Amino acid sequence: MTVGKYIGIDLGGTKIAGVLADAGGTVLHREQVPTKAEEGPEKVVARVFGLIRVLLAAAGEGEVKGIGLCTPGPSDLKAGVVIEAPNLKWKDLPIIALLEKEFNLPSVLENDANAAAYGEYVYGAAKGRKDLVYLTVSTGIGGGIIVNGELVYGRNYSAGEAGHMIILPDGPLCSCGRRGCIEALASGSAIAREAKALLLKEGQGGPGRTGLLWEITGGDPERLTAKEVGEAAAKGDPLALSVLEKAFRYLGIAVGNLVNLLNPEIVVIGGGVAALGPLLFRPVVQAMEATAFAHMCRDLPVVPALLGGEAGTRGMVALARRKIPAEG
């Protein structure tokens, strides 16, 4: 029987979250600290180490059998090196070697979207399924794919970059430098950008400048966020509703393409934008069904993630437990 405790760390651009869990996945302790990426890689690594020390102290001496860490951006998982994480200002950082030297515990590295997908697979919305597509829709769009119970990595651990599927050639510029990626069309950043553009385009006194969305901005569209667009849409604001409908139609086309390619048992959508509920899921399912083969869509659940902000940390606990077994 597998025993012991495991630490899961989710390192993001704004916060570092960590959990201590037993071998069955039950969370025993949670901690969170700000990332403060602007202070540089060394200080961010120091904060990760400090958070781990707190979790180790909560576990008791000798109880923790391994550490799992997920980060954004591409990594060499075999070597334990973060190749590039622009939001963290990390490049070619051998984070696993640093962790193992500091704590003398076996450690594993994973991409954050893959970790969240695995968390939902083991503990969340996809529990009991073996083939799934996971998308996280927040500031950007990430993805993780599990086939027959295994994460799909590809040749150099970079598979699953669903956010950079090009849906609209010559469309809006994406942060990756290409145009028309689904991230540039349906992410939180894209939704805010599109709403701002429409508000600024409306002439003084036009419908965009007399609606709820304009009122929310206080007359300053530059401060608009996707959350506020969602709030306005939930109250029936026509401009906000049109922005979301367009964005999530594109997202549904991307989902339909993934369904045609992978024929999954379930599609799970997480991230902050997924909190919009039917405003997101209704147009996504409609566009998916118009894009993918009917027999692949039949009885295919498209559901919200269950683990929320803990998908990454819980996924890293599950991956650490799997890759670093401690037999007792």
Token readout for 135 is 């998308």
> Does residue 138 contact residue 111 with C-beta atoms inside 8 Å?
no
Q: What is the pLDDT of residue 2?
A: 56
For 67, phi then psi, to 5°, come to -125, 135
Q: What is the pLDDT of residue 62?
A: 86
Q: What is the pLDDT of residue 204?
A: 42
Query: What is the C-alpha to C-alpha distance for residues 103 and 81, in angstroms, rounded to an integer?
Result: 17
Burial class of residue 70 (count of CB atoms within 10 Å of its CB; 0-12, 13-18, 19+): buried
pLDDT digits (tens, 9 = 90+) for 17-45: 999 999 888 999 999 999 998 999 999 99
Strands (E), 94-238: 107-111, 132-137, 141-147, 150-151
What's the whole-model pTM score? 0.92
Domain limits, the chain = 5-120+309-323, 128-305
Burial class of residue 242 (count of CB atoms within 10 Å of its CB; 0-12, 13-18, 19+): middle
Instruction: State the residue for tokens 């401690």.
Output: 326
Q: Is residue 126's pLDDT more than 90?
A: yes
Q: What's the half-sphere exposure (Cβ side, CA atoms, 13 Å) at 284?
A: 26
N-terminal to C-terminal alpha carbon distance within the chain: 6
**326 pLDDT tier (thresholds 50, 70, 90):** low
Q: Identify the helix (H) or strand (E) that includes residue 323.
A: helix 311-323
pLDDT top residue among 218 and 135: 135
CATH number at 128-305: 3.30.420.40
The answer to whether 5-120+309-323 and 128-305 have equal CATH topology is yes
Q: What is the pLDDT of residue 1?
A: 47
User: What is the rounded average pLDDT for all residues in the chain?
Assistant: 92
Q: Which CATH superfamily is domain 5-120+309-323 in?
A: ATPase, nucleotide binding domain (3.30.420.40)
Q: What is the pLDDT of residue 208?
A: 54
Sheet holding 5-11, edge to edge: 27-34, 15-22, 5-11, 64-71, 107-111
Q: Is residue 215's pLDDT more than 90?
A: no
What mean pLDDT comes out for the span 224-245? 94
What mean pLDDT comes out for the span 155-178? 92
Other Cβ atoms closer than 10 A to 173: 11
Residue closest to 8 by CA, chosen among 327, 324, 326: 324
Beta-bridged to residue 27, according to DSSP, are 21
